[in-house]
Each structure stands twice: as structure tokens, then as C-alpha cells.
Amino acid sequence: MLHRRQVLTLAAAAAAFTALPGVARVALAQAGSDRAVTFVKTTGDKLVGVVNGPGSAAEKRQALTQIIDQAVDVDGVGRFCLGRFWRTATPDQQKRYLALFHQVLVTSITAKLGEYQGVRFTISRSRSQDEDELVSTVVERPNNPPTNVDWVIANPNNAPKIIDVIAEGTSLRLTQRSDYASFLAHNNSSVDALISAMQQQIASAG
């Protein structure tokens, strides 16, 4: 269940920011969307600084965790991915699940850093989507075709946060929610079983 896809919503696309050659190219960005575009670029620059900078793996992991907590609405994404099971989970289960969701996200990004050398991205445009802003980018990876990746930014005008990543038309947030729902459907709707699977995933990645 947890290994059927590149897991956890923002992990693969967030890793696309890593090892970028300094500054992303910005093309056709609309003036009214400057804040969302700047937010996406700034987040990428921060990740680049950590990944390509000095420090041990543990220090980089800690720094990445801080960036993710600042840039991503991890709790909100986590609640969305658990879907209707969030309402039936106990407060203790909710707390443990969200803590593990943070860890799996960071672990997924950290584990993939070495595979993204030479990645570049171009911000092509930004447009409003209901109350959110959608920043479209093209991710280019050596020896791979370009990938269209859209970043959904909530509260773009005051406290922007990444709430979803849409890669080639597929919402990673919806994909993860579907994976969790499938796992729970085959495990008697047990949130504890999901929590155990997430713990095992973290342990195996370590």
C-alpha cells in the first residue's frame, strides 16, 4: 500500500527542487501572482541551500524538516489524506498519525535527494483556482522528458502554504488519499494498522 507509488503527496515534486543550479528561470509569470511565484521560488532556493550545503545527513534532515514545516501545510494535507477516517480516529491516533506523516514526508524527500542531480525547473505561469493560487512549472531532469508540475498554494496573499502538487495532471494529495483509503479498506478500517505501516516504512528507510 505505502510503496505502490512514490509516496506522500509532496515528496517527489519537492525533491525536484533539490540540486537546482541556483535560481529557477521564471517565464510568463503574471504580475498579480507575484507572491505565489516568489513563494515557490524562495522555497526552492532554501531547499537547494540545504541539499548542496555543508552538514551531516542528520543536520540536513533537520533543516529540511524546518523548511517543510514552514512551506507546506503538512497537518492539513495529512488530514485530507486520511479522509473520512480522520473523523473516526481518536485524538491520540490523530496525534500519532500526523507526527508520522511529517516523518514519512521528510524521509521520502531525503531518500531521493541523490537521484535529482541536474534537475531544473521553469515557472511558466500562475493562475487563481478558487481561493488558492496554482503555480505551473516544467521540471526538467537529465535523460528524462520534461514533466509538468503544478503547485497549489493556499493563502497566497498573506500566509502561503503548499497544499497539493499536481504532476502531469495527477494530484499527489488525491493519490495518497486513495492509497490510504485502499489500505484501510483491506485492514478493517484500522487507523492503528495504518500507523503501524507508516512506522515500518520509516524504519525500513532508515
Where along the chain do its domains lie?
Answer: 11-191
Q: Which three cell numbers stand for residue 188?
A: 478493517
Q: What is the pLDDT of residue 141?
A: 72
CB neighbour class for 56 (10 Å; exposed up to 12, middle 13-18, buried from 19): exposed
Please compute Rg for the chain using Cα positions. 17
Q: What is the pLDDT of residue 186?
A: 95
Q: What is the pLDDT of residue 112?
A: 63
Question: Cell 500500500 maps to which residue?
Answer: 1
Intervals of the chain under pLDDT 50: 1-12, 15-32
Instruction: Give 187's Cβ-side CA count (13 Å radius).
Output: 16
- pLDDT tens digits for range 62-98: 888 888 889 999 999 999 999 999 999 999 999 999 9
Q: What is the pLDDT of residue 130?
A: 83
What is the spatial distance between Cα 180 and Cα 191, in angstroms, rounded to a whole number? 10
The model carries a pTM of 0.79
User: What topology does CATH give the domain 11-191?
Assistant: Nuclear Transport Factor 2; Chain: A, (3.10.450)
Residues counted in the chain: 206
Instruction: Give 177's Cβ-side CA count (13 Å radius).
Output: 17
Q: What is the pLDDT of residue 83?
A: 95
Q: What is the DSSP string of 154-202?
A: ESTTTS-EEEEEEETTEEHHHHHHHHHHHHHHTTTT-HHHHHHHHHHHH
